[in-house]
A and B are shown apart, each in its own frame.
Chain A
Amino acid sequence: MPLTLPDLVIAKRLLVRAAVIWAGVRGCYALAVLLLAGVFGAPELRLPITTDVAIAALTVGLVLMEVKRCHEAILLANLGVPLTSVALLAAVPALVGTAILSALAP
């Protein structure tokens, strides 16, 4: 099945939602590392690739859960947009955010 992307109006909202969720997950991770600094050392901007991938996957999962919780999956499906397209879109802020943090890291 071709990957139909949602209308620009919906796409923008999904991207913002994914960005907020990614920031929240990334912040929680940083906080957890900070609290356990004695064990793992101080939090860093650049994380191991596996951690970045796990955070991105968690973000995508949470966005999909939110879309289903709000019954927006039916709205999107009625417009011909499958959840796989939403998942791809939800991964974009995580990738961009990770790239920015990596660039900022000393």
Chain B
Amino acid sequence: MRKILEKLDRVDRRVIYLLMALSVFVPLSLRLSYPIPVGEGPSRDLFDAIEAMPSGSVVLVSYDYDPSTMPELQPMAVALTQHMFTRGHRIIAMALWPQGASLSQEAMTAVGDSLGKAQYDDWVNLGYTVGAGVSIVRMGSSIRAVFPQDRDGFPYDSIPLLTRVQSLRDIDLVISLSAGDPGIHAWVMMAGDRFGLPVGGGCTAVSAPEFYTYLGTGQMLGLLGGLKGAADYETMVREGRENAPAGLATPGMAAQSIAHLVIMAFIIIGNISYLVIHKRRKGAPK
């Protein structure tokens, strides 16, 4: 037994990688699905905040990620856009990451077209800006100074949706979908603290714990953390809509469940072998 545990303790990392791959691949292939109950928490807080806003509110969504984190963040973007459009809100999309501009266009066009929303009246994509936090500060005095035209080269002043939007003070809510920096930190510090804007966000599961400080102080309205946050939001958006199609995140939750169990199994095996070997070494003659 001890020998087996010693072997397990020195197991080749490629074996771990293989088991990990299977734990994701098998549930996805078998189309396993679990119900996703959404309790109280930051996901519901964000949903409720958007629900409570009067129809026609202007929401600025910043796509602060790139294709690598797309599997976690794009489902959030789609679900949020669906929710905001069905509530009658208008969306200004932008990006602090260069490739975010293309990802925002993809989400806005797909959801906007399916719900009959018109570009420039109901939504606009301003594209990418360099400068991160500094750009946000400048947007506090003039958004036009940072984005003289939208992503397609249409002048700012000729876009009907932007007629009354001169600075960040004219925005009703900011949502940053963030895979790193610049992202939520910059929006909370510059737009939230400096210009008093309500800020919500979505982030990768890895980064979620650090934003709980902002939730506790009220500097953020709500937060979608990783695939779980996206799946929660999809569930809430679909509540009461029987025939609504399943979102992009919900099918992944079964795979994530199994993957978490596998990681926990690794940790348990690692600890058993550690305790047995450690005990033996302690008892060994010096």
A and B held together in a complex: no
Residues on B facing A (Cβ under 8 Å):
none
